[in-house]
Structure 1
Amino acid sequence: MLKKPIIYLISDSLGETAEKVIQASLSQFVNGQEYEIVRTPYVEDTTKLKQVLTNATRDKAIVGYTLVNPELRQYVKQKSVLLNLESIDIIGPMLEAMERIFEKKPRMKPGLAHQLDEAYFKRVEAIEFAVQYDDGRDPRGIEQADIILVGVSRTSKTPLSQYLALKSLKVANVPIVPEVDPPEELYRVDPSKCIGLKINPEKLNDIRRERLKALGLKENANYATHRRIEQELAFFECVVNKLACPVIDVSNKAVEETANLIMQIKMSQ
Protein backbone atom coordinates (compact mmCIF):
# COMPACT_ATOMS: atom_id res chain seq x y z
CA MET A 1 0.00 0.00 0.00
CA LEU A 2 1.35 3.41 -0.98
CA LYS A 3 2.21 5.75 1.85
CA LYS A 4 -0.06 8.78 2.19
CA PRO A 5 1.76 11.59 0.31
CA ILE A 6 2.82 14.70 2.20
CA ILE A 7 3.19 18.00 0.39
CA TYR A 8 5.06 20.93 1.91
CA LEU A 9 3.94 24.31 0.63
CA ILE A 10 6.37 27.18 1.13
CA SER A 11 5.42 30.80 0.51
CA ASP A 12 6.55 34.31 1.33
CA SER A 13 2.86 35.20 1.73
CA LEU A 14 -0.16 33.11 2.80
CA GLY A 15 0.57 30.22 0.47
CA GLU A 16 -2.92 30.14 -1.05
CA THR A 17 -1.63 30.24 -4.62
CA ALA A 18 0.62 27.25 -4.06
CA GLU A 19 -2.12 25.31 -2.31
CA LYS A 20 -4.64 25.82 -5.11
CA VAL A 21 -2.17 24.71 -7.78
CA ILE A 22 -1.07 21.66 -5.80
CA GLN A 23 -4.65 20.65 -4.98
CA ALA A 24 -5.65 20.97 -8.62
CA SER A 25 -2.75 18.71 -9.62
CA LEU A 26 -3.31 16.21 -6.81
CA SER A 27 -6.97 15.84 -7.76
CA GLN A 28 -5.75 14.03 -10.89
CA PHE A 29 -4.17 11.31 -8.75
CA VAL A 30 -5.76 11.14 -5.28
CA ASN A 31 -8.79 12.50 -3.45
CA GLY A 32 -8.76 14.99 -0.60
CA GLN A 33 -8.51 12.36 2.12
CA GLU A 34 -5.45 10.66 0.65
CA TYR A 35 -2.80 13.33 1.14
CA GLU A 36 -1.57 15.79 3.75
CA ILE A 37 -0.56 19.40 3.12
CA VAL A 38 1.84 21.22 5.43
CA ARG A 39 1.74 24.95 4.71
CA THR A 40 4.61 27.25 5.75
CA PRO A 41 3.66 30.89 5.08
CA TYR A 42 5.61 34.15 5.38
CA VAL A 43 9.06 32.69 4.74
CA GLU A 44 11.58 35.52 4.54
CA ASP A 45 15.02 33.97 4.97
CA THR A 46 17.12 30.88 4.28
CA THR A 47 17.18 29.89 7.96
CA LYS A 48 13.47 29.15 7.85
CA LEU A 49 13.81 27.49 4.45
CA LYS A 50 16.56 25.17 5.71
CA GLN A 51 14.38 24.00 8.59
CA VAL A 52 11.35 23.36 6.37
CA LEU A 53 13.36 21.50 3.72
CA THR A 54 14.98 19.34 6.40
CA ASN A 55 11.53 18.41 7.70
CA ALA A 56 10.32 17.70 4.18
CA THR A 57 13.28 15.37 3.63
CA ARG A 58 12.47 13.52 6.84
CA ASP A 59 8.86 13.05 5.71
CA LYS A 60 9.83 12.12 2.15
CA ALA A 61 7.54 14.93 1.01
CA ILE A 62 6.99 16.82 -2.21
CA VAL A 63 7.76 20.54 -1.95
CA GLY A 64 5.85 23.24 -3.79
CA TYR A 65 6.89 26.86 -3.37
CA THR A 66 5.84 30.38 -4.37
CA LEU A 67 8.68 32.79 -3.58
CA VAL A 68 9.10 36.07 -5.42
CA ASN A 69 12.66 36.57 -4.17
CA PRO A 70 14.97 34.90 -6.76
CA GLU A 71 17.67 34.25 -4.12
CA LEU A 72 15.23 32.27 -1.98
CA ARG A 73 13.99 30.37 -5.05
CA GLN A 74 17.57 29.50 -5.98
CA TYR A 75 18.27 28.34 -2.42
CA VAL A 76 15.31 25.94 -2.50
CA LYS A 77 16.33 24.65 -5.89
CA GLN A 78 19.94 23.96 -4.88
CA LYS A 79 19.07 22.56 -1.46
CA SER A 80 16.48 20.23 -3.00
CA VAL A 81 19.14 18.73 -5.27
CA LEU A 82 21.46 18.15 -2.31
CA LEU A 83 18.67 16.59 -0.23
CA ASN A 84 17.25 14.60 -3.15
CA LEU A 85 13.90 16.36 -2.71
CA GLU A 86 11.22 16.65 -5.38
CA SER A 87 10.49 20.39 -5.41
CA ILE A 88 8.29 22.45 -7.71
CA ASP A 89 8.82 26.17 -8.35
CA ILE A 90 5.25 27.30 -8.97
CA ILE A 91 5.70 31.00 -9.63
CA GLY A 92 9.38 31.39 -10.61
CA PRO A 93 9.22 30.38 -14.31
CA MET A 94 6.25 32.68 -14.87
CA LEU A 95 8.03 35.62 -13.20
CA GLU A 96 11.18 35.03 -15.26
CA ALA A 97 9.20 34.80 -18.53
CA MET A 98 7.30 38.01 -17.77
CA GLU A 99 10.53 39.77 -16.84
CA ARG A 100 11.84 38.97 -20.33
CA ILE A 101 8.59 40.01 -22.05
CA PHE A 102 8.02 43.25 -20.13
CA GLU A 103 11.75 44.03 -19.95
CA LYS A 104 11.41 45.11 -16.33
CA LYS A 105 12.02 43.66 -12.90
CA PRO A 106 9.11 42.33 -10.83
CA ARG A 107 8.03 44.38 -7.82
CA MET A 108 9.42 41.77 -5.43
CA LYS A 109 6.52 42.30 -3.03
CA PRO A 110 4.99 39.10 -1.62
CA GLY A 111 1.22 38.82 -1.24
CA LEU A 112 0.12 41.30 -3.93
CA ALA A 113 -2.52 38.87 -5.25
CA HIS A 114 -3.92 38.52 -1.74
CA GLN A 115 -4.03 42.30 -1.40
CA LEU A 116 -6.10 42.44 -4.59
CA ASP A 117 -8.49 39.87 -3.12
CA GLU A 118 -8.80 41.97 0.02
CA ALA A 119 -9.57 45.05 -2.05
CA TYR A 120 -12.28 43.14 -3.92
CA PHE A 121 -13.96 41.88 -0.77
CA LYS A 122 -13.73 45.31 0.86
CA ARG A 123 -15.52 46.78 -2.16
CA VAL A 124 -18.24 44.11 -2.01
CA GLU A 125 -18.68 44.77 1.72
CA ALA A 126 -19.06 48.50 1.03
CA ILE A 127 -21.71 47.85 -1.64
CA GLU A 128 -23.67 45.60 0.72
CA PHE A 129 -23.36 48.28 3.40
CA ALA A 130 -24.76 50.96 1.07
CA VAL A 131 -27.78 48.79 0.30
CA GLN A 132 -28.41 47.88 3.92
CA TYR A 133 -28.23 51.45 5.20
CA ASP A 134 -29.87 53.21 2.27
CA ASP A 135 -32.47 55.92 2.86
CA GLY A 136 -32.09 55.89 6.65
CA ARG A 137 -33.72 52.48 6.99
CA ASP A 138 -31.38 51.48 9.82
CA PRO A 139 -29.77 54.32 11.83
CA ARG A 140 -27.21 51.92 13.32
CA GLY A 141 -25.29 52.21 10.08
CA ILE A 142 -24.59 55.89 10.76
CA GLU A 143 -22.00 55.09 13.42
CA GLN A 144 -20.31 52.45 11.24
CA ALA A 145 -20.19 54.50 8.03
CA ASP A 146 -17.15 56.22 6.54
CA ILE A 147 -19.47 58.84 5.00
CA ILE A 148 -23.03 59.90 5.83
CA LEU A 149 -24.96 61.68 3.10
CA VAL A 150 -27.69 64.05 4.28
CA GLY A 151 -30.29 65.54 1.96
CA VAL A 152 -33.91 65.85 0.92
CA SER A 153 -35.50 63.41 -1.50
CA ARG A 154 -34.08 63.34 -5.07
CA THR A 155 -30.63 64.72 -4.29
CA SER A 156 -28.92 61.53 -5.60
CA LYS A 157 -28.16 60.09 -2.16
CA THR A 158 -28.65 56.47 -3.24
CA PRO A 159 -26.64 56.56 -6.52
CA LEU A 160 -23.90 58.50 -4.71
CA SER A 161 -23.80 55.84 -1.99
CA GLN A 162 -23.42 53.10 -4.60
CA TYR A 163 -20.78 55.02 -6.57
CA LEU A 164 -18.71 55.68 -3.44
CA ALA A 165 -19.11 52.04 -2.42
CA LEU A 166 -17.26 51.10 -5.61
CA LYS A 167 -14.38 53.10 -4.12
CA SER A 168 -14.63 50.82 -1.04
CA LEU A 169 -16.21 53.52 1.13
CA LYS A 170 -19.02 52.55 3.49
CA VAL A 171 -21.79 55.09 2.97
CA ALA A 172 -25.06 55.57 4.83
CA ASN A 173 -27.60 58.14 3.73
CA VAL A 174 -30.22 59.98 5.73
CA PRO A 175 -33.32 61.53 4.13
CA ILE A 176 -34.36 64.89 5.53
CA VAL A 177 -38.11 65.27 6.01
CA PRO A 178 -39.61 68.10 8.10
CA GLU A 179 -42.14 65.79 9.79
CA VAL A 180 -39.44 63.40 11.01
CA ASP A 181 -36.54 64.33 13.27
CA PRO A 182 -33.19 62.97 12.04
CA PRO A 183 -31.94 59.99 14.06
CA GLU A 184 -30.02 60.88 17.21
CA GLU A 185 -27.07 58.88 15.88
CA LEU A 186 -26.55 61.58 13.27
CA TYR A 187 -25.68 64.12 15.95
CA ARG A 188 -23.37 61.75 17.82
CA VAL A 189 -20.93 61.00 15.01
CA ASP A 190 -17.98 63.13 13.95
CA PRO A 191 -19.56 65.88 11.78
CA SER A 192 -16.65 65.61 9.33
CA LYS A 193 -18.13 62.23 8.27
CA CYS A 194 -21.35 63.97 7.20
CA ILE A 195 -21.89 65.59 3.81
CA GLY A 196 -24.94 67.74 3.17
CA LEU A 197 -26.40 67.67 -0.34
CA LYS A 198 -28.17 70.94 -1.20
CA ILE A 199 -30.07 71.66 -4.38
CA ASN A 200 -31.67 74.59 -6.16
CA PRO A 201 -35.46 74.55 -5.51
CA GLU A 202 -36.33 75.04 -9.19
CA LYS A 203 -34.06 72.17 -10.19
CA LEU A 204 -35.57 69.97 -7.49
CA ASN A 205 -39.06 70.88 -8.66
CA ASP A 206 -38.20 69.76 -12.21
CA ILE A 207 -36.70 66.49 -10.98
CA ARG A 208 -39.66 65.68 -8.75
CA ARG A 209 -42.22 66.47 -11.42
CA GLU A 210 -40.43 64.13 -13.82
CA ARG A 211 -40.34 61.49 -11.11
CA LEU A 212 -44.09 61.78 -10.53
CA LYS A 213 -44.70 61.59 -14.27
CA ALA A 214 -42.61 58.41 -14.51
CA LEU A 215 -44.69 56.89 -11.72
CA GLY A 216 -47.92 57.81 -13.48
CA LEU A 217 -48.90 60.33 -10.80
CA LYS A 218 -50.13 63.90 -11.09
CA GLU A 219 -47.39 66.51 -11.42
CA ASN A 220 -49.13 68.87 -9.01
CA ALA A 221 -48.86 66.45 -6.06
CA ASN A 222 -47.66 68.07 -2.82
CA TYR A 223 -44.29 66.30 -3.21
CA ALA A 224 -43.40 68.58 -6.15
CA THR A 225 -44.95 71.89 -5.09
CA HIS A 226 -42.72 74.90 -4.56
CA ARG A 227 -44.13 75.40 -1.09
CA ARG A 228 -43.30 71.85 -0.02
CA ILE A 229 -39.82 72.01 -1.53
CA GLU A 230 -39.02 75.30 0.21
CA GLN A 231 -40.22 73.81 3.48
CA GLU A 232 -37.97 70.75 3.09
CA LEU A 233 -34.93 72.79 2.07
CA ALA A 234 -35.38 75.13 5.04
CA PHE A 235 -35.47 72.15 7.38
CA PHE A 236 -32.39 70.72 5.62
CA GLU A 237 -30.52 73.99 6.28
CA CYS A 238 -31.37 73.76 9.97
CA VAL A 239 -30.06 70.19 10.15
CA VAL A 240 -26.74 70.80 8.36
CA ASN A 241 -26.17 74.02 10.32
CA LYS A 242 -26.62 72.05 13.53
CA LEU A 243 -24.24 69.38 12.25
CA ALA A 244 -21.72 71.97 11.03
CA CYS A 245 -20.78 69.61 8.24
CA PRO A 246 -19.54 70.26 4.68
CA VAL A 247 -22.27 70.94 2.11
CA ILE A 248 -22.16 70.38 -1.65
CA ASP A 249 -24.57 71.95 -4.13
CA VAL A 250 -25.63 69.08 -6.41
CA SER A 251 -28.02 71.15 -8.56
CA ASN A 252 -26.02 70.88 -11.79
CA LYS A 253 -23.55 68.11 -10.96
CA ALA A 254 -23.36 64.55 -12.22
CA VAL A 255 -23.06 61.79 -9.62
CA GLU A 256 -19.41 61.21 -10.55
CA GLU A 257 -18.58 64.89 -10.09
CA THR A 258 -20.23 65.06 -6.68
CA ALA A 259 -18.53 61.82 -5.62
CA ASN A 260 -15.13 63.23 -6.59
CA LEU A 261 -15.80 66.35 -4.53
CA ILE A 262 -16.76 64.19 -1.55
CA MET A 263 -13.56 62.17 -1.85
CA GLN A 264 -11.53 65.38 -2.07
CA ILE A 265 -13.19 66.64 1.11
CA LYS A 266 -12.41 63.37 2.88
CA MET A 267 -8.77 63.42 1.79
CA SER A 268 -8.30 67.00 2.95
CA GLN A 269 -9.62 66.32 6.44
Structure 2
Amino acid sequence: MARIYIISDGTGESAVNLMKAALAQFSDSGKILLSVFDKVDNEARLLLCLDEARQERAFVACTFVQRELRDIVVRYCTNHGIPHLDIIGPALDSLSHYMGLKPEENPNIFRRVDDKYFQRIEAMEYTLVHDDGKNLEGLEEADIVILGLSRTSKTPTSFVLAQQGYKVLNIPLIPHISLPEKLYDIDQNRIVCLVMDPEVLKKIRTKRLRHYQAKSSYTNLADIFNEVELVYEMCRRNRQWHVINTTNKSVEETAREVINEIFGRETEL
Protein backbone atom coordinates (compact mmCIF):
# COMPACT_ATOMS: atom_id res chain seq x y z
CA MET A 1 0.00 0.00 0.00
CA ALA A 2 1.39 3.37 -1.08
CA ARG A 3 1.47 6.35 1.28
CA ILE A 4 1.76 9.99 0.31
CA TYR A 5 2.53 12.71 2.83
CA ILE A 6 1.59 16.24 1.84
CA ILE A 7 3.29 18.87 3.99
CA SER A 8 2.53 22.56 3.60
CA ASP A 9 2.80 25.90 5.36
CA GLY A 10 -0.64 26.65 3.90
CA THR A 11 -3.72 24.46 3.48
CA GLY A 12 -2.05 21.90 1.23
CA GLU A 13 -5.02 21.96 -1.16
CA SER A 14 -2.93 22.71 -4.24
CA ALA A 15 -0.74 19.69 -3.51
CA VAL A 16 -3.78 17.49 -2.89
CA ASN A 17 -5.29 18.48 -6.24
CA LEU A 18 -2.04 17.93 -8.09
CA MET A 19 -1.51 14.52 -6.50
CA LYS A 20 -5.04 13.42 -7.31
CA ALA A 21 -4.63 14.53 -10.93
CA ALA A 22 -1.34 12.63 -11.22
CA LEU A 23 -2.60 9.50 -9.44
CA ALA A 24 -5.58 9.30 -11.79
CA GLN A 25 -3.09 8.17 -14.45
CA PHE A 26 -2.22 5.05 -12.44
CA SER A 27 -5.30 2.85 -12.65
CA ASP A 28 -3.50 -0.18 -11.17
CA SER A 29 -1.99 1.66 -8.21
CA GLY A 30 -4.13 -0.12 -5.63
CA LYS A 31 -4.95 1.49 -2.29
CA ILE A 32 -3.22 4.80 -1.60
CA LEU A 33 -3.30 6.64 1.71
CA LEU A 34 -3.00 10.42 1.55
CA SER A 35 -2.02 12.29 4.72
CA VAL A 36 -2.09 16.09 4.83
CA PHE A 37 -0.08 18.15 7.32
CA ASP A 38 -1.12 21.76 6.96
CA LYS A 39 0.15 25.03 8.48
CA VAL A 40 3.56 23.51 9.18
CA ASP A 41 5.46 26.77 9.67
CA ASN A 42 8.52 25.87 11.74
CA GLU A 43 11.48 23.51 11.56
CA ALA A 44 10.58 21.48 14.66
CA ARG A 45 7.14 20.52 13.40
CA LEU A 46 8.45 19.90 9.91
CA LEU A 47 11.07 17.46 11.18
CA LEU A 48 8.40 15.56 13.11
CA CYS A 49 6.42 15.14 9.89
CA LEU A 50 9.50 14.04 7.96
CA ASP A 51 10.48 11.54 10.65
CA GLU A 52 7.03 10.00 10.44
CA ALA A 53 7.19 9.91 6.64
CA ARG A 54 10.54 8.13 6.90
CA GLN A 55 9.11 5.50 9.26
CA GLU A 56 6.10 4.94 7.02
CA ARG A 57 8.25 4.85 3.85
CA ALA A 58 5.99 7.49 2.35
CA PHE A 59 6.34 9.69 -0.68
CA VAL A 60 6.63 13.33 0.40
CA ALA A 61 5.08 16.20 -1.56
CA CYS A 62 5.46 19.69 -0.17
CA THR A 63 4.23 23.22 -0.85
CA PHE A 64 6.33 25.67 1.17
CA VAL A 65 6.65 29.28 0.13
CA GLN A 66 9.47 29.71 2.65
CA ARG A 67 12.76 28.68 1.07
CA GLU A 68 14.25 27.72 4.43
CA LEU A 69 11.59 25.05 4.96
CA ARG A 70 11.85 23.83 1.38
CA ASP A 71 15.60 23.39 1.80
CA ILE A 72 15.06 21.36 4.97
CA VAL A 73 12.72 19.01 3.11
CA VAL A 74 15.16 18.53 0.25
CA ARG A 75 18.14 17.91 2.56
CA TYR A 76 16.29 15.52 4.85
CA CYS A 77 14.70 13.51 2.04
CA THR A 78 17.94 13.33 0.07
CA ASN A 79 19.96 12.19 3.10
CA HIS A 80 17.42 9.50 4.02
CA GLY A 81 16.51 8.33 0.54
CA ILE A 82 12.90 9.50 0.73
CA PRO A 83 11.21 10.10 -2.64
CA HIS A 84 9.93 13.66 -2.65
CA LEU A 85 8.50 16.46 -4.77
CA ASP A 86 8.79 20.21 -4.21
CA ILE A 87 5.65 21.47 -5.91
CA ILE A 88 5.78 25.24 -5.52
CA GLY A 89 9.53 25.91 -5.20
CA PRO A 90 10.46 25.62 -8.89
CA ALA A 91 7.53 27.88 -9.82
CA LEU A 92 8.62 30.54 -7.33
CA ASP A 93 12.22 30.39 -8.54
CA SER A 94 11.27 30.61 -12.23
CA LEU A 95 8.83 33.48 -11.67
CA SER A 96 11.37 35.31 -9.52
CA HIS A 97 13.94 35.05 -12.32
CA TYR A 98 11.42 36.11 -14.99
CA MET A 99 10.02 39.12 -13.10
CA GLY A 100 13.22 40.16 -11.37
CA LEU A 101 11.48 40.14 -7.98
CA LYS A 102 11.93 38.24 -4.75
CA PRO A 103 8.90 36.33 -3.42
CA GLU A 104 7.55 37.53 -0.09
CA GLU A 105 7.54 33.96 1.31
CA ASN A 106 4.38 34.69 3.29
CA PRO A 107 2.03 31.66 3.42
CA ASN A 108 -0.85 33.84 4.62
CA ILE A 109 -0.98 36.08 1.54
CA PHE A 110 -3.14 33.67 -0.45
CA ARG A 111 -5.67 33.49 2.38
CA ARG A 112 -6.12 37.24 2.77
CA VAL A 113 -9.69 38.51 2.58
CA ASP A 114 -9.66 41.02 -0.27
CA ASP A 115 -12.02 42.55 -2.82
CA LYS A 116 -11.91 39.43 -4.98
CA TYR A 117 -13.10 37.36 -2.02
CA PHE A 118 -16.18 39.54 -1.63
CA GLN A 119 -16.68 39.46 -5.39
CA ARG A 120 -16.81 35.66 -5.28
CA ILE A 121 -19.28 35.67 -2.40
CA GLU A 122 -21.54 38.13 -4.24
CA ALA A 123 -21.29 36.04 -7.43
CA MET A 124 -22.22 32.84 -5.61
CA GLU A 125 -25.22 34.50 -3.96
CA TYR A 126 -26.37 35.89 -7.31
CA THR A 127 -25.93 32.54 -9.06
CA LEU A 128 -27.85 30.66 -6.36
CA VAL A 129 -30.82 33.02 -6.62
CA HIS A 130 -30.76 32.88 -10.46
CA ASP A 131 -30.44 29.12 -10.90
CA ASP A 132 -32.61 27.21 -13.39
CA GLY A 133 -34.44 30.29 -14.66
CA LYS A 134 -36.40 30.75 -11.45
CA ASN A 135 -35.58 34.46 -11.17
CA LEU A 136 -34.89 36.86 -14.03
CA GLU A 137 -34.69 39.97 -11.86
CA GLY A 138 -31.28 41.55 -12.32
CA LEU A 139 -30.67 39.74 -15.62
CA GLU A 140 -28.69 42.74 -16.84
CA GLU A 141 -26.22 42.22 -13.97
CA ALA A 142 -25.23 38.75 -15.14
CA ASP A 143 -21.67 38.35 -16.38
CA ILE A 144 -22.69 35.12 -18.10
CA VAL A 145 -26.05 33.66 -19.13
CA ILE A 146 -26.13 29.91 -19.68
CA LEU A 147 -28.88 28.28 -21.72
CA GLY A 148 -29.03 24.51 -21.89
CA LEU A 149 -31.11 21.39 -22.20
CA SER A 150 -31.86 19.34 -19.13
CA ARG A 151 -28.80 17.43 -17.78
CA THR A 152 -26.18 19.30 -19.82
CA SER A 153 -24.52 20.55 -16.57
CA LYS A 154 -26.01 24.06 -16.46
CA THR A 155 -26.17 24.34 -12.68
CA PRO A 156 -22.80 22.78 -11.74
CA THR A 157 -21.04 24.81 -14.45
CA SER A 158 -22.72 27.96 -13.16
CA PHE A 159 -21.45 27.39 -9.63
CA VAL A 160 -17.90 26.63 -10.75
CA LEU A 161 -17.96 29.95 -12.58
CA ALA A 162 -19.47 31.69 -9.56
CA GLN A 163 -16.61 30.43 -7.39
CA GLN A 164 -14.32 32.32 -9.77
CA GLY A 165 -16.28 35.54 -9.28
CA TYR A 166 -18.67 35.49 -12.25
CA LYS A 167 -22.37 36.23 -11.75
CA VAL A 168 -24.18 33.53 -13.71
CA LEU A 169 -27.84 33.15 -14.59
CA ASN A 170 -28.91 29.90 -16.20
CA ILE A 171 -32.14 29.13 -18.02
CA PRO A 172 -33.37 25.69 -19.11
CA LEU A 173 -34.18 25.20 -22.78
CA ILE A 174 -37.53 23.43 -22.98
CA PRO A 175 -39.14 22.51 -26.31
CA HIS A 176 -42.22 24.62 -27.19
CA ILE A 177 -41.49 27.13 -24.39
CA SER A 178 -40.20 30.49 -25.59
CA LEU A 179 -37.27 32.22 -23.96
CA PRO A 180 -38.02 35.46 -22.08
CA GLU A 181 -38.00 38.52 -24.31
CA LYS A 182 -35.74 40.45 -21.94
CA LEU A 183 -32.98 37.96 -22.75
CA TYR A 184 -32.54 39.73 -26.10
CA ASP A 185 -32.02 43.11 -24.44
CA ILE A 186 -28.66 42.24 -22.86
CA ASP A 187 -25.23 41.88 -24.47
CA GLN A 188 -25.72 38.78 -26.65
CA ASN A 189 -22.01 37.92 -26.45
CA ARG A 190 -22.59 36.92 -22.82
CA ILE A 191 -24.95 34.09 -23.75
CA VAL A 192 -23.70 30.49 -23.91
CA CYS A 193 -25.68 27.44 -25.00
CA LEU A 194 -24.71 24.01 -23.64
CA VAL A 195 -25.33 20.94 -25.77
CA MET A 196 -24.37 17.29 -25.55
CA ASP A 197 -24.18 14.25 -27.77
CA PRO A 198 -27.77 12.92 -27.90
CA GLU A 199 -26.85 9.32 -27.07
CA VAL A 200 -24.76 10.37 -24.08
CA LEU A 201 -27.53 12.71 -22.95
CA LYS A 202 -30.03 9.86 -23.18
CA LYS A 203 -27.86 7.70 -20.88
CA ILE A 204 -27.56 10.51 -18.32
CA ARG A 205 -31.29 11.18 -18.35
CA THR A 206 -32.09 7.47 -18.07
CA LYS A 207 -29.96 7.23 -14.93
CA ARG A 208 -31.75 10.27 -13.52
CA LEU A 209 -35.13 8.59 -14.02
CA ARG A 210 -34.16 6.00 -11.42
CA HIS A 211 -34.58 8.72 -8.82
CA TYR A 212 -37.04 11.15 -10.39
CA GLN A 213 -40.19 10.82 -12.42
CA ALA A 214 -40.31 12.52 -15.80
CA LYS A 215 -42.28 12.38 -19.00
CA SER A 216 -41.45 9.58 -21.44
CA SER A 217 -40.04 11.91 -24.12
CA TYR A 218 -37.37 12.92 -21.61
CA THR A 219 -35.31 9.85 -22.55
CA ASN A 220 -36.60 9.23 -26.06
CA LEU A 221 -33.58 9.39 -28.37
CA ALA A 222 -35.50 10.86 -31.32
CA ASP A 223 -36.89 13.62 -29.09
CA ILE A 224 -33.43 14.32 -27.69
CA PHE A 225 -32.01 14.63 -31.23
CA ASN A 226 -34.74 17.18 -31.94
CA GLU A 227 -33.91 19.08 -28.75
CA VAL A 228 -30.22 19.27 -29.65
CA GLU A 229 -31.01 20.40 -33.19
CA LEU A 230 -33.32 23.06 -31.74
CA VAL A 231 -30.38 24.49 -29.76
CA TYR A 232 -28.16 24.63 -32.83
CA GLU A 233 -30.96 26.28 -34.81
CA MET A 234 -31.36 28.93 -32.09
CA CYS A 235 -27.64 29.64 -32.23
CA ARG A 236 -27.74 29.92 -36.02
CA ARG A 237 -30.41 32.61 -35.62
CA ASN A 238 -28.47 34.35 -32.86
CA ARG A 239 -24.93 34.50 -34.22
CA GLN A 240 -23.39 36.13 -31.14
CA TRP A 241 -24.38 33.24 -28.89
CA HIS A 242 -21.69 30.70 -28.08
CA VAL A 243 -22.17 26.92 -28.28
CA ILE A 244 -20.25 24.55 -26.02
CA ASN A 245 -20.52 20.77 -26.22
CA THR A 246 -20.26 19.31 -22.71
CA THR A 247 -20.04 15.65 -23.77
CA ASN A 248 -17.62 13.76 -21.49
CA LYS A 249 -16.25 17.01 -20.07
CA SER A 250 -15.84 17.89 -16.42
CA VAL A 251 -17.68 20.99 -15.22
CA GLU A 252 -14.28 22.63 -14.72
CA GLU A 253 -13.43 22.07 -18.40
CA THR A 254 -16.79 23.43 -19.46
CA ALA A 255 -16.42 26.48 -17.21
CA ARG A 256 -13.00 27.23 -18.70
CA GLU A 257 -14.43 27.03 -22.23
CA VAL A 258 -17.23 29.40 -21.25
CA ILE A 259 -14.70 31.95 -19.96
CA ASN A 260 -12.52 31.58 -23.05
CA GLU A 261 -15.47 32.05 -25.41
CA ILE A 262 -16.78 35.18 -23.72
CA PHE A 263 -13.71 36.86 -22.25
CA GLY A 264 -10.80 35.27 -24.13
CA ARG A 265 -7.92 33.24 -22.76
CA GLU A 266 -6.12 36.03 -20.94
CA THR A 267 -7.17 36.42 -17.31
CA GLU A 268 -5.92 39.16 -15.00
CA LEU A 269 -4.87 37.76 -11.62
Query: With structure 1 as the length reference, what TM-score do the two structures score?
Result: 0.55
Match of 1:143 among 140, 149, 152: 140
Note if 1:163 corresponds to 2:172.
Answer: no
Correspondence list, 1:37-116, <5 A: 116=113
**Does the CA contact (< 8 Å) of 1:187 and 1:243 recur in 2?**
no
Larger Rg: 1
Match of 2:256 among 233, 236, 260: 260
Paired positions, count: 166
C-alpha RMSD of the superposition: 3.0
Cα distance in 2 for partners of 1:243, 1:134 equals 23
Match of 2:178 among 178, 181, 187: 181
Note if 1:200 corresponds to 2:197.
Answer: yes
| Deviation at residue 173 of structure 1 after TM alignment | 0.6
Runs of 5+ unmatched residues, structure 2: 1-65, 71-101
**Does the CA contact (< 8 Å) of 1:141 and 1:172 recur in 2?**
no
| CA offset digits 1:230-254 (Å, max 9, x no partner) | 2322322232222221111111211
Paired amino acid for 2:243: V
| Deviation at residue 120 of structure 1 after TM alignment | 1.5
| Deviation at residue 176 of structure 1 after TM alignment | 0.7
Match of 1:246 among 233, 242, 248: 242
Match of 2:228 among 226, 233, 243: 233
Paired amino acid for 1:262: V
Paired amino acid for 2:161: L
Paired amino acid for 1:190: D
Cα distance in 2 for partners of 1:190, 1:169 equals 15
| Deviation at residue 267 of structure 1 after TM alignment | 2.9
| Pair 114,229 (structure 1): closer, same or farther in 2 beyond 3 Å | closer
| Deviation at residue 114 of structure 1 after TM alignment | 11
Paired amino acid for 1:207: I
Cα distance in 2 for partners of 1:115, 1:157 equals 31
| Deviation at residue 143 of structure 1 after TM alignment | 1.6
Taking only the aligned residue pairs, the percentage that are identical comes to: 35
Note if 1:121 corresponds to 2:118.
Answer: yes
| Pair 113,210 (structure 1): closer, same or farther in 2 beyond 3 Å | closer
| CA offset digits 1:109-165 (Å, max 9, x no partner) | xxx899833221111111111111111112234321001111111110000000000
